[in-house]
Amino acid sequence: MKNLLIILCLFLGLQSIAQEKKELFIPVDSETNKIKFQGVIEEEGDQYELFKRSIYWLNNTYKDPVRVTSIRDKETGKIVGRHRFRIYYWDRDSIKHIGGMINYTFTVELKNDRYRYTIDEIVLKSATNIPAEKWLNKDDPAYDPRWEGYLIQIRDFVNNWSSNLEERMKPEPEKIEDEW
């Protein structure tokens, strides 16, 4: 009985370690070998209605949405923009430091009853603009353990960004007038 209990404890311990060491998934486009987050969402509404909702989303998400977007074409249902966000790292004393500024491009393409978003061209803003794909190579002689943290922050940013978009693209609930 003791042996069974010891084996069970070891198994559960190894399983929890294995879960902590799960591989970080970052989507890479097979054609360009660049990081590319993309999703297609089914949402009721024609192209023009979805375009209006996406403009409301832009205005709510970005402080200066006109400056952020380079294309807003309601005829083709396409919105393209560039923006940035900060990434951080923590030192041995758990003090937070700025790791840099990440520039990215986003595209929202609208069709009847669906839309597609894409986030790509992810680079660390510096004198040479380092592509985020560099951080995927753990065999790089210049590998820095902070790179994985940067990739996690990029993934989390995109997940929050896309969740915000999906929430704002839902149709407004119809208001029922109270007739008395």
- The closest of 118, 79, 80, 82 to 103, measured between CA atoms, is 82
Q: Which residues partner with 149 through β-bridges?
A: none
Cα dihedral 45, 48, 54, 59, rounded to 10, equals -130
Give dist(CA 113, CA 74) in Å, integer: 15
Alpha-helical segments (H) within 1-145: 2-20, 47-61, 65-68
- Rg for the chain (alpha carbons), in Å? 22
Amino acid 5: pLDDT: 42
Give me the half-sphere count of Cα atoms (radius 13 Å) on the Cβ side of residue 119.
Answer: 22
Domain ranges of the chain: 26-168
121 vs 36, 133, 153, CA distance in Å? 8, 10, 16
Tens digit of each residue's pLDDT (9 = 90 or more) over 102-132:
999 999 999 999 999 999 999 999 888 899 9
Q: pLDDT tens, position by position, for the chain (180 residues)?
A: 544 444 444 444 544 444 444 578 999 999 999 999 999 999 999 999 999 999 999 999 999 999 999 999 999 999 999 999 999 999 999 999 999 999 999 999 999 999 999 999 999 998 888 999 999 999 999 899 999 999 999 999 999 999 999 999 999 877 777 776
CATH code of the domain made up of 26-168: 3.30.530.80
Amino acid 22: pLDDT: 58
Is the pTM for the entire model greater than 0.85? no
Amino acid 177: pLDDT: 77
Q: DSSP strand E in the chain: where?
A: 37-42, 69-73, 78-90, 96-111, 114-125, 130-131
